[in-house]
Amino acid sequence: MRHAQHLLSDVLPRLGHITPRQQDETQAVTHCLRDSDQLGDRTDWTRAASGMA
């Protein structure tokens, strides 16, 4: 949660000044369900699993 709070408090005030740019597709990462076994202990990102429920 601290990371999200820091990100939001840092980015939101500057949102109107950020220039959008094209994503470099060679650097893009996509997750497919068939690759879930590679996530290890990160497979369940729910609130319940993180102890926040």
Summarize pLDDT for 17-35 with one digit per residue, the tens: 989 899 898 988 776 777 7
47: Cβ contacts below 8 Å, ≥ 6 apart = 53
pLDDT value of position 52: 60
Average pLDDT, the chain: 78
Q: Is 40 left (phi over 0), alpha (psi -120 to 50) or beta?
A: left
SS3 50: coil
Checking if the pLDDT of 44 tops 60, the result is: yes
Using pLDDT thresholds of 50, 70 and 90, give the confidence band for residue 47.
Answer: low
pLDDT value of position 22: 93
Sequence letter at residue 12? L
Cβ pair 22, 29 in contact under 8 A: no
CA pair distance 27, 22, nearest whole angstrom: 11
Mean per-residue pLDDT, 38-44: 70
